């Protein structure tokens, strides 16, 4: 079974890309590890996530860099050829759902 659940902060500005009627968004999710390293620091992994169509549109509309979200999806390996004509592989999460957990940005209230 290929199933991933991640909770973390959006590490980059979200940009919706439209290609022939299909919407796509790529974001990096900063996920803190649940243990400290030898120096007593919690390290963070930056996990690339791809969102498609309705999920991409909602993320673009409601989420911003710094927001905490929960992404549920699956791992996918992508194969590509780099500038040196060498085959490389990368892992990314293909999001099936995204849930808004907390906002980094607070709204200013006018007096």
Q: What pLDDT score does 105 carry?
A: 57
Q: What is the dihedral of CA 56, 59, 60, 61, to 10 degrees?
A: 120
Please say if the pLDDT value at position 109 is more than 60. Answer: no
Q: What are 14-46's pLDDT values in tens digits?
A: 888 888 888 999 999 999 999 999 999 999 999
Please name each of the domains of the chain with its CATH number: 4-102 (2.40.50.140)
Please say if the pLDDT value at position 107 is more than 60. Answer: no
- What residues does 86 pair with on adjacent strands? none
Q: What pLDDT score does 17 carry?
A: 84
Under the banding of pLDDT at 50, 70 and 90, the label for residue 10 is: very high
> 73 — phi, psi (to 5°)?
-170, -150
Contact present, 52 and 74 (Cβ < 8 Å):
no
Task: Check: pTM over 0.85? Answer yes or no.
Answer: no
Distance CA 66, CA 88 (A): 30
Q: What are 65-88's pLDDT values in tens digits?
A: 999 999 999 999 999 999 999 999
């Amino acid at each position: 079974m290929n199933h991933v659940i991640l909770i973390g902060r959006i590490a980059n500005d979200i940009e919706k890309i439209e290609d022939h009627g299909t919407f796509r968004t790529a974001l990096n999710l900063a996920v803190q590890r649940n243990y400290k390293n030898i120096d007593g620091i919690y390290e963070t992994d930056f996990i690339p996530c791809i969102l498609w169509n309705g999920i991409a549109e909602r993320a673009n509309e409601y989420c911003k860099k710094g927001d905490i979200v929960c992404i549920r999806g699956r791992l996918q390996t992508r194969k590509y050829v780099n500038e040196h004509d060498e085959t490389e592989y990368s892992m990314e999460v293909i999001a099936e759902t995204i849930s808004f957990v907390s906002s980094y940005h607070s709204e200013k209230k006018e007096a």
